[in-house]
Amino acid sequence: IAGITQAPTSQILAAGRRMTLRCTQDMRHNAMYWYRQDLGLGLRLIHYSNTAGTTGKGEVPDGYSVSRANTDDFPLTLASAVPSQTSVYFCASSTDLKTEAFFGQGTRLTVV
Amino acid sequence: GDSVTQMEGPVTLSEEAFLTINCTYTATGYPSLFWYVQYPGEGLQLLLKATKADDKGSNKGFEATYRKETTSFHLEKGSVQVSDSAVYFCALRDYKLSFGAGTTVTVRA
C-alpha cells in the first residue's frame, strides 16, 4: 500500500452502536487527522495527533474518541452512534504541522 | 481563530472559459495556504500550495498567489476542461488545517 488507507469504505450503523473507523498510513508522517465532510459545511476537524502518543481535539470532537498508539494507525471511535454523525469521514496525515496533508478515500457512514 | 472564506457555488462554466474562485482568510500568524480538489466519489487531492507572501502556486494550469495585503489566495485557470469539474477547497495551515466550505465547479462541453 502507498499513502493512507481507510476502512470500511462505507457502513450503515444502527443508532446506539459502537463503531471504529480505521486509518493506516505508510508514509511515516508524524501528524494525523480526522475530518468529517458535510454538505455546505466543508471539512471540519474532529481530532488530531501531532505525534504518536498524543492527541488533541478539533472543532467537533463530541461523541468521538481517538488513540495514537503508534505512528501508522489513528482509529476513530464512535462510542454510541447518533444520526447526526451520518457523514463522510476522512483521515489525513502530514509530515508536520506546517506541511500539506494527504487524504484517504473516505468512509461513508450512515447512522439509522 | 484561523478561518477561510471562499466563494459560494455552484459555478457552471462552458469549456475553455476562465475560472476564478475567490478565497480570503483570517489568521493571526503566517499560515501556509492550499487549494485542494475533490473529484466525485474521491478523497481530497492537493492541487497547489504557497507557503509565504507573494508565492505563486501552480499545477495543471491552475494558479493562485498568496496576497498578504489582501489576505487572499484566489484560484484561477485560463481555460477549463470538462475534466476540471470537481469541488475545490481553499485551506490554510497554521498549526492545524482549516478548510473553506468548498466550491462546486461544473464545466459543460
Which residues in B11-28 are b (16+ Cβ under 10 Å) and which e?
bebeeeeebebbbbbebe
Note the pLDDT of residue A69.
Answer: 97
Residues 29-88 of B with CB under 8 A from A: 32, 34, 36, 42-46, 49, 51
Q: Report the gap between the CA of A39 and the closest CA in chain B (Å).
A: 8
What's the whole-number average pLDDT of chain A? 94
How many distinct helices (H) and strands (E) make up chain B?
Answer: 0, 12
- Tens of pLDDT, residues B41-97: 889 999 999 999 999 999 999 999 999 999 999 999 999 999 999 999 999 987 778
CA atoms of A21 and B94, how far apart (whole Å): 27
Kindly state the cell numbers that stand for B15. 469549456
Note the pLDDT of residue B9.
Answer: 85
Note the pLDDT of residue A41.
Answer: 84
Please check whether residue A104 touches B, CB under 8 A: yes
Q: What does the pLDDT average to over A3-7?
A: 95
Per-residue pLDDT for A45 more than 80?
A: yes
B84 Rama sector, left if φ>0, alpha if ψ -120 to 50, beta otherwise: alpha
